[in-house]
Structure 1
């Protein structure tokens, strides 16, 4: 028997759950297909859990717009739904005078993005705020915070289900086709076929494979995929002597090896950037050598043998090493010509912060006339 619904969302990470929640609350019949046996087991749960302010991204980009709007939506959602979070604030530290121009560039970009509370501080104030940090200047971002990513995904799932969405775990989409009548038919392992007016591809690392598996979808509209692995290290004992998040000036492929503290007070450093061919999540202990060097630029007091491997995540990227960072790509029918298909490619940081804003953006791309 073939089931038919308005929308199938593929992927139950934070973006897929936020999209499902939004569409179900709009009154659409929604099924979420997740191949793993739990929600959010990949990129959504392997990150720094930062609520970003919207500082780094090019003015007018989707990342900038979704992050700034999403930040406020997320803080409000967490407060209303008892999702653990905290506005910790963060410092972006220039460790020598050669980085001051980069700091100025970050501040200018933040202003263009509508981040109006970023403040430049000098060496003296930096030392007063964080005595263990070594730097010549810093940017202070009071709007940056941390969130319990698993708690957030749990709340989004409950909201989606209460609005009528069905979350189906262990439901691996093996392919699909665009039918002659314009509807989308997906084949799900051990389940069979499900037909929908619209499929929203929120499969994260698997978004590229899903798009290529849809017969009738133009292969040339599937972009190249690059994978950047980021490893995290924790402290073997004690806690780092900081009250705020500490970031260096950004590096190629990421925001640098930064210090974050989770809601339990556990300190972690990362991620670094390792371009890989396949997604795997084992932390190589040998990478600690580079971590010591990076961290000691802003925390020279880091003791020897203080770091231990913690976890790793893999970021789905649209550009590779040495190339400018790409924007989020939300690809709808006007972009690829296939009615009823919405693909989300390259949803890396600040995807967690942007989840509710991205859900609204996706909802606006869906042709409601197809659902009648």
Structure 2
């Protein structure tokens, strides 16, 4: 039976980042059940590099987003990954939203985001032309990144350190013998086993189902999973925006915001809907809701140029309220060598390298 040091389940942005970082220390294999890497949450998002504004103080999301943002921009320069530090404008309309915006700025300061600036009406008109708002705040460190090229750069780093990426390979189960994991994999319909010392479950939307197949893991350490679907609409033709425009956040997300991609095309989203099964089919009927939300801050919207685009699904751990990343090691569940990552949603793309370093520290510390 083949014996490797580390097996990573899931080749999304976080799984690939972990594998790439770990490959500098261990021999690593990362498996992906699909034909291509990053087919789920990692490639179905806004591709925004987040500043770290919204997350609760002392949370993993706040810490790893801010650390990850710096690491990501540095990585993109080193590996020639396309990105743009376009900045974003947070906009508020009316007294209630103004109070919420002030609270957000305070939260950002608590999270050590020090570069936000309130905009005068003249500055707001310049940075967010045609936008209707009582008050605006500028976030210069927010950016956009080509998520596919980012994941490809992680894969290239993994390969450069002799790590392996194996697609069309599904995790079936793992048995822990006290020192190693005997892992059963399904590769194109054929079962085979391998032995690993470290097992990292970074399967995203499938992390809970994988965790349930690890025989030594007590079910109480596996949180509930809720699929939260968000869809996007693209805007055809010219538009006035050079920066991202974010309204005040909603209970389940950051609101239907305006982003631009690397080519400069404008898109809006996501909305939030909880669903029972994985289904990426966009709902064109949501257009009326999008139009209603967008014109609150962009009254000049030409709705005839708004077209349904794509959707993504987040692995939520709760239906309501703020939630943090959950990264469990043996100090939580008692199994040496097992690391489970649950609820890795936004800002997971931004935080991917910081999450990777966080996991690497957990893996290498007991050995060193």
Structures share fold, TM-score greater than 0.5: yes
Provide closer, same or farther for how the CA distance between residues 191 and 31 of structure 1 changes in structure 2, counting only shifts above 3 A. Answer: farther
What whole-Å deviation, never above 9, does each CA across 1:209-257 have from its counterpart, x for those lacking one? 000011111111101111110000012x303211100001000111110
Please list every run of 5 or more consecutive structure 2 residues that lacks an aligned counterpart in the other structure: none
Aligned equivalents of 1:260, 1:75: Cα separation in 2 = 18
Match of residue 225 from structure 1: 225
Match of residue 196 from structure 2: 196
What whole-Å deviation, never above 9, does each CA across 1:267-324 have from its counterpart, x for those lacking one? 110000011111211110001110000000110001132211100000001111xx22
SS at match of 1:103: helix
SS at match of 1:74: helix
Aligned equivalents of 2:277, 2:143: Cα separation in 1 = 31
Matches within 5 A, 1:103-252: 103-179=101-177, 181-189=178-186, 190-235=190-235, 237-252=236-251
SS at match of 1:25: coil
Aligned equivalents of 1:240, 1:188: Cα separation in 2 = 49
Aligned equivalents of 2:208, 2:291: Cα separation in 1 = 35
Match of residue 63 from structure 2: 65
Match of residue 93 from structure 2: 95
1:356 to 346, 353, 356: 353
SS at match of 1:152: helix
Match of residue 362 from structure 2: 365
Runs in 1 of length 4+ with deviation above 6 angstroms?
A: none
Aligned equivalents of 2:159, 2:303: Cα separation in 1 = 49
Match of residue 304 from structure 1: 303
Match of residue 8 from structure 1: 7
SS at match of 2:303: coil
Aligned equivalents of 1:85, 1:120: Cα separation in 2 = 25
Query: Normalization by structure 1: what TM-score?
Result: 0.96
Cα root mean square deviation, aligned: 1.2
Aligned equivalents of 1:253, 1:187: Cα separation in 2 = 37
Please list every run of 5 or more consecutive structure 1 residues that lacks an aligned counterpart in the other structure: none
Match of residue 344 from structure 1: 341
The number of aligned residues is 365
